[in-house]
């Protein structure tokens, strides 16, 4: 099974990368960690860590044409490298526990928008409405379950061609809608303060946690460090230029994140809200921007519809990692694997949903100051993905013969990419692992940046 063309490869991969990471997580983390300086570190991580690891994953996937665990087994038979794949399976579950919860809020917001619930919204009611949505306690769980049923049904049917088509048509629409949102947000009174916040680099705001979080976000955003891009690479066509696919995906993904930021921060400042408001930032600001436009209600519903689609295609790629593992390595049928995985994710994911806020039902259950929701996110984004990425960069940089790398990345010598390969080889051997190690050591206080 392969994607049908180069364009399909691009859109399918973008379908994995663009999701709640761009629209929900990127803005709220940038807000929480103080704007410009965080953004700068994030860009550097995309360039020197994200891109090389994405290429490395594409390489491993397309060369072996297997799921993450199988790919590493085939590439390095009888070694421990396969544990990167298993770590990826674990990371995928951890991410899904909280991702399905937030996707549930998006589905819920779509329904509310269709229902006209945001017609007379004010800053205060935006906050109350978000509080009601996450507090439930029953409704957010029901929405999370609906999300999982949707994801499991699509996965059980194994409709790769369908996914291609959906992303190809709906992704550009999401793009356009965010731009409309940007235009309105940027023309609100006081919008310039939001721009200032986003682009003014103030290194004094940069903590070790902020640096680690920016790095983790780069992994999360580009779906890296856990085998998703290996799995996708395994469906790539033989003649696909891996360099250009990686560059285009990283660029488009970053663009979508930035456009989301440009819609949210001007609104935050224009309405006198807190940029560090946390996971509710998107849900409190977007209905406000649309309330300031003609046809705002319809456009708002369209926005949440497209965001729901983006979140869903990203989840399909997330769950594909364990599904491919259970079907290809353990011989389960696709249907069975989809149902079992959705059940496991649903049961544990409820813990995330019930611990989003301090006043949630399980809000007091914390371990070292963090509840389930935060731990699932922290362990996956800030630890497992970057560690997975470090191992992948070491494997590609030191565990593979340079000729083999050259052969695959140049599509059997048909592409003239010698210089690019040299640059890539240098970065993946020295720069990427060094940066990752420095960020880790800095975050546990062994060195001080």
Name which position in 63, 82, 184, 221 contacts ligand PHE (CB under 6 A): 221
Q: How far is 417 from 423, CA to CA, in rounded Å?
A: 10
Q: How far is the CB of 218 from ligand PHE (least distance, A)?
A: 10
Name which position in 33, 105, 220, 305 contacts ligand PHE (CB under 6 A): 220
Does position 228 interact with ligand PHE (CB under 6 A)? The reply is: yes
The gap from C-alpha 309 to its chain's centroid, in whole angstroms, comes to 14
112 vs 221, which CB is nearer to ligand PHE?
221
Please give the size of the binding site for ligand PHE, defined by CB under 6 A.
15
**Which of 159, 147, 162, 137 minimizes the C-alpha distance to 110?**
147
Pick out residues in 338-397 that bind ligand PHE (CB under 6 A). Answer: none
Pick out residues in 25-44 that bind ligand PHE (CB under 6 A). Answer: none
171 vs 273, which CB is nearer to ligand PHE?
171
12 vs 126, which CB is nearer to ligand PHE?
12
Contact criterion met (CB below 8 Å) for 88 and 255: no
29 vs 417, which CB is nearer to ligand PHE?
29
282 vs 318, which CB is nearer to ligand PHE?
318
Piece in contact with ligand PHE (CB under 6 A), picked from 13-21, 160-168, 332-340, 404-412: 13-21
116 vs 172, which CB is nearer to ligand PHE?
172
Q: How far is the CB of 12 from ligand PHE (least distance, A)?
A: 12
Name which position in 15, 19, 140, 296 contacts ligand PHE (CB under 6 A): 19
Q: How far is the CB of 148 from ligand PHE (least distance, A)?
A: 15
20 vs 356, which CB is nearer to ligand PHE?
20
Q: How far is the CB of 117 from ligand PHE (least distance, A)?
A: 25
Piece in contact with ligand PHE (CB under 6 A), picked from 15-23, 118-126, 299-307, 438-446: 15-23
312 vs 432, which CB is nearer to ligand PHE?
312
Pick out residues in 293-322 that bind ligand PHE (CB under 6 A). Answer: 314, 317-318
- Secondary structure, 3-state, the chain: CCCCCHHHHHHHHHHHHCCHHHHHHHHHHHHHCCCHHHHHHHHHHHHHHHHHHHHHHHHHHHHHCCCHHHHHHHHCCCCCCHHHHHHHHHHHHHHHHHHHHHHHHHHHHHHHHHCCCCCCCCHHHHHHHHHHHHHCCHHHHHHHHHHHHHHHHHHHHCCHHHHHHHHHHHHHHHHHHHHHHHHHHHCCCCHHHHHHHHHCCCHHHCCHHHHHHHHHHHHHHCCCCCCHHHHHHCCCCCCCCHHHHHHHHHHHHHHHHHHHHHHHHHHHHHCCCCCCCCCCHHHHHHHHHHHCCCCHHHHHHHHHHHHHHHHHHHHHHHHHHHHHHHHHHCCCCHHHHHHHHHHHHHHHHHHHHCCCCCCCCCCCCCECCECHHHHHHHHHHHHHHHHHHHHHHHHHHHCCCHHHHHHHHCCCCCCCCHHHHHHHHHHHHHHHHHHHHHHHHHHCCCCCC
**Which of 103, 162, 58, 96 minimizes the C-alpha distance to 380?**
96
Q: How far is the CB of 21 from ligand PHE (least distance, A)?
A: 2
19 vs 136, which CB is nearer to ligand PHE?
19
Q: How far is the CB of 226 from ligand PHE (least distance, A)?
A: 6
Q: How far is the CB of 38 from ligand PHE (least distance, A)?
A: 17
Q: Could you count the other beta carbons within 10 Å of the beta carbon of residue 238?
A: 9
Does position 56 interact with ligand PHE (CB under 6 A)? The reply is: no
226 vs 281, which CB is nearer to ligand PHE?
226
Q: How far is the CB of 399 from ligand PHE (least distance, A)?
A: 23
Does position 16 interact with ligand PHE (CB under 6 A)? The reply is: yes
Closest residue by beta carbon to ligand PHE: 21
Which residues sit at the interface with ligand PHE, rule CB under 6 A?
A: 16-17, 19-22, 95, 220-221, 223, 226, 228, 314, 317-318
């Amino acid at each position: 099974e392969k994607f049908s063309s180069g364009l399909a490869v691009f859109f399918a991969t973008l379908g994995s990368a663009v999701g709640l990471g761009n629209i929900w997580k990127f803005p709220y983390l940038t807000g929480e960690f103080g704007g410009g300086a965080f953004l700068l570190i994030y860009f550097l991580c995309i360039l020197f860590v994200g891109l090389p690891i994405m290429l490395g994953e594409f390489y491993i996937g397309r060369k072996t044409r297997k799921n993450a665990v199988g790919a590493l087994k085939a590439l390095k038979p009888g070694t421990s490298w396969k544990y990167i794949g298993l770590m990826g399976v674990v990371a995928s579950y951890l991410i899904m526990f909280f991702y399905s919860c937030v996707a549930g809020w998006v589905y819920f917001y779509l329904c509310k928008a269709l229902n006209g619930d945001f017609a007379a919204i004010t800053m205060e009611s935006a906050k109350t409405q978000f509080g009601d949505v996450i507090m439930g306690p029953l409704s957010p769980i029901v929405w999370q379950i609906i999300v999982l049923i949707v994801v499991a049904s699509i996965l059980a049917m194994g409709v790769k061609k369908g996914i291609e088509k959906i992303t190809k048509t709906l992704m550009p629409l999401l793009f356009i809608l965010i731009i409309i949102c940007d235009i309105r947000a940027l023309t609100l009174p006081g919008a310039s303060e939001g721009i200032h916040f986003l682009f003014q680099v103030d290194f004094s705001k940069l903590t070790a946690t902020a640096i680690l979080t920016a790095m983790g976000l780069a992994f999360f955003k580009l779906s890296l460090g856990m085998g998703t891009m290996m799995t996708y690479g395994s469906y790539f066509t033989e003649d696909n230029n891996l360099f250009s696919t990686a560059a285009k995906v990283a660029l488009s993904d970053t663009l979508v994140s930035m456009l989301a930021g440009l819609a949210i921060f001007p609104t935050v400042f224009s309405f006198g809200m807190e940029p560090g408001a946390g996971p509710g930032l998107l849900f409190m600001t977007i209905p406000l921007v649309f309330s300031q436009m003609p046809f705002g209600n319809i456009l708002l519903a369209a926005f949440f519809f497209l965001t729901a689609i983006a979140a869903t295609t990203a989840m399909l790629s997330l769950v594909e990692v364990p599904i491919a593992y259970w079907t290809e390595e353990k011989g389960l049928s696709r249907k069975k694997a989809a149902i079992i995985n959705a059940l496991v994710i649903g049961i544990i994911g409820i813990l995330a949903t019930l611990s989003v806020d301090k006043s949630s039902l399980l809000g007091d259950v914390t371990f070292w100051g963090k509840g389930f929701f935060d731990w699932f996110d922290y362990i996956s984004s800030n630890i497992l993905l970057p560690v997975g990425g470090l191992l992948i960069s070491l494997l590609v940089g030191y565990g593979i013969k340079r000729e083999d790398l050259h052969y695959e990345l140049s599509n059997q010598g048909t592409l003239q990419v010698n210089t690019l390969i040299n640059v890539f080889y240098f970065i993946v051997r020295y720069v990427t692992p060094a940066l990752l190690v420095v960020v880790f050591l800095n975050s546990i206080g062994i060195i001080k940046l």
